């Protein structure tokens, strides 16, 4: 009898189940949810002001993703199916006596309601406003000589893309720095912004990456692999279904899990109980594969599209380096508000969060400590800040990069403190030669690649459909 019980217990653990486990009571839940991670869970905590001996900060440059937003209209529409799925899960447990959710997790699902509407699609949430407002206050505390000043249009520049969520993020950040009645000037957004949304104005990127099915091949192949197939089977059984759910349903539950948590950071997200910690890590890697090739190191054109922002950074700091009192006043703070792709491309151009090996569908186990982790480099409100310092000892100018308010241990620098001349010289060619001419050059192989990738993706989709339908 003991041997039988042990065998059953081992089988349960192998399948990812623990009947005594309740997500509702988890004291340290896994909160790394890829690009929908709440910024509150990943940003650095406040440090001592300024923090560089014998140096004073003289300019602050920042590129930030917008704060927490609502889903797009398509996702909101598909989320309308979740109440029915929720009711089936409850029915599986209570009437069919199938499924392995604990009573507390089941009760949380029962009480859950969908509270997002199509009119809110992609708009900044209240939490998104707080993301940027409190980020600004922390930077202000960190760099009071630069950011704790009375607002002046000459001293502080704001720029955002043509979207509600980035404009609202800029407003929230300005309120965190200057209050709500400072009269901060926010210039109109450019319709075709080639600085902070270069990829959106690059036909070649749209053809070769953005609209190219080949971009998703590694993600799709990972989805076909044994780990994701086991995940789908385990989740289906955990929820009490006698058949496999689809990856579409899996994504709907996962998105609701992470959006719920991002909107309400202090509450339990009922849909996260669907997944074990290891399964959440697999879902995170699956999304990392997508963004690695869509906006990261997986495609060389992504790196090239990071040059406009890096050029702006280098040129800004160079003007400050050569500034004298007779010149035009240089701003103390430059603040840009954009989207995850622009941030990822800038990081790629700078060589930040670069792994020795490419992320692929076959190396999940060896990439668990990867640097390219969208939960940390691309959550809501993710940001890259660079601060130029003028120093009394040693080299006159130095620079520190901050990613999500964490000091970046940049290669060739001393625990993140870099020689400005080293960074300036490293990117001198970018500052001088960067342009988007390559975006408009015709490449004969593009259409062929698109056709081949379409066939590949069609094959992948057909296999997935076969497995979900007949296995």
Query: CA 321 to CA 158: how far, in whole Å?
Result: 21
Residues 6+ apart with CB under 8 A from 451: none
CA angle 156, 158, 163 (to 5 degrees): 170
- DSSP string for 397-444: EEEEEEETTEEP--TTSBTTEEEHHHHHHHTHHHHHH--SGGGG---T
The three-state (H, E, C) secondary structure of 391-405, written as one string: ECCCCCEEEEEEECC
Strands 383-391 vs 55-65: parallel, antiparallel or unpaired: antiparallel
Residues tagged active-site = 66
Query: CA 104 to CA 110: how far, in whole Å?
Result: 10
471-286-120-270 Cα dihedral, nearest 10 degrees: 70
Could you tell me the two tokens for 134? 């409190």
Helix (H, G, I), strand (E, B) or coil at 338: strand
Query: CA 304 to CA 296: how far, in whole Å?
Result: 10
Query: CA 1 to CA 164: how far, in whole Å?
Result: 63
Residues 6+ apart with CB under 8 A from 310: 346, 349, 350, 427, 430, 431, 434
Query: CA 178 to CA 399: how far, in whole Å?
Result: 25
Cβ 240 vs Cβ 89: under 8 Å: yes
- DSSP string for 212-256: -GGGGHHHHHHHHSHHHHHHHHHHHHHTT-SSPPPHHHHHHHHHH
Of the candidates 252, 269, 278, 255, the one whose C-alpha atom is nearest the C-alpha of residue 88 is 252
Straight-line distance from the first to the last Cα atom of the chain, in angstroms, rounded to the nearest whole number = 33
* Residue with tokens 């959006």, as numbered in its chain: 259
Of the candidates 458, 352, 465, the one whose C-alpha atom is nearest the C-alpha of residue 404 is 352
Could you tell me the two tokens for 27? 């004291």
């Amino acid at each position: 009898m003991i041997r039988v019980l042990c065998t059953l217990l081992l089988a349960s653990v192998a399948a990812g189940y623990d009947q005594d486990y309740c997500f509702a009571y988890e004291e340290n839940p896994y909160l790394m949810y890829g690009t929908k991670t709440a910024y509150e869970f990943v940003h650095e905590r406040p440090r001592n002001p300024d923090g560089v001996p014998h140096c004073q900060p003289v300019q602050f440059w920042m590129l930030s993703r917008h704060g927490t937003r609502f889903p797009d209209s398509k996702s909101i529409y598909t989320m309308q199916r979740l109440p029915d799925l929720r009711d089936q899960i409850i029915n599986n447990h209570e009437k069919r006596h199938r499924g392995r959710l604990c009573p507390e997790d089941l009760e949380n699902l029962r009480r859950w309601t969908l509270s997002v509407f199509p009119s809110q699609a992609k708009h900044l949430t209240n939490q998104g406003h707080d993301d940027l407002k409190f980020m600004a206050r922390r930077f202000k505390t960190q760099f009071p000589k630069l950011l704790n000043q009375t607002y002046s249009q000459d001293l502080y520049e704001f720029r955002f893309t043509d979207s509600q969520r980035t404009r609202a993020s800029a407003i929230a950040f300005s309120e965190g720095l200057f209050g709500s009645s400072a009269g901060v000037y926010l210039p109109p957004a450019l319709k075709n912004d080639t600085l902070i949304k270069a990829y959106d104005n690059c036909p070649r990127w749209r053809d070769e990456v953005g609209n190219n099915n080949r971009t998703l091949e590694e993600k799709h192949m990972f989805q076909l692999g044994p780990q994701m197939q086991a995940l789908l089977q385990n989740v289906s059984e955990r929820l009490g279904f006698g058949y496999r759910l689809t990856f579409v349903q899996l994504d709907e539950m996962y998105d609701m899990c992470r959006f719920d948590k991002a909107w309400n950071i202090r509450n339990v997200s009922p849909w996260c109980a669907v997944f074990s910690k290891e399964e959440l890590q697999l879902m995170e890697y699956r999304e990392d594969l997508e963004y690695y090739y869509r906006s990261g190191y997986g495609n060389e054109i992504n790196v090239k599209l990071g040059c406009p922002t890096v050029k702006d950074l280098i040129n800004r700091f160079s003007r400050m380096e050569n500034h004298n009192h007779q010149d035009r006043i240089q701003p103390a703070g430059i603040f840009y508000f954009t989207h995850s792709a622009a941030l990822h491309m800038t990081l790629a151009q700078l060589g930040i969060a670069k792994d020795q090996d490419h992320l692929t569908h076959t190396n999940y186990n060896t990439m668990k400590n990867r640097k390219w982790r969208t939960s940390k480099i691309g959550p809501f409100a993710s940001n890259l800040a660079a601060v130029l310092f003028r120093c009394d000892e040693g080299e006159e100018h130095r620079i520190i990069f901050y990613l999500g308010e964490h000091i970046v241990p940049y290669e060739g620098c001393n625990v993140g403190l870099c020689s400005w001349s080293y960074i300036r010289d490293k990117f001198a060619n970018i500052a001088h030669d960067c342009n988007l001419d390559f975006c408009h050059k015709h490449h004969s192989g593009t259409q062929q690649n698109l056709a081949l990738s379409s066939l590949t993706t069609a094959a992948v989709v057909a296999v997935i459909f076969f497995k979900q339908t007949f296995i």
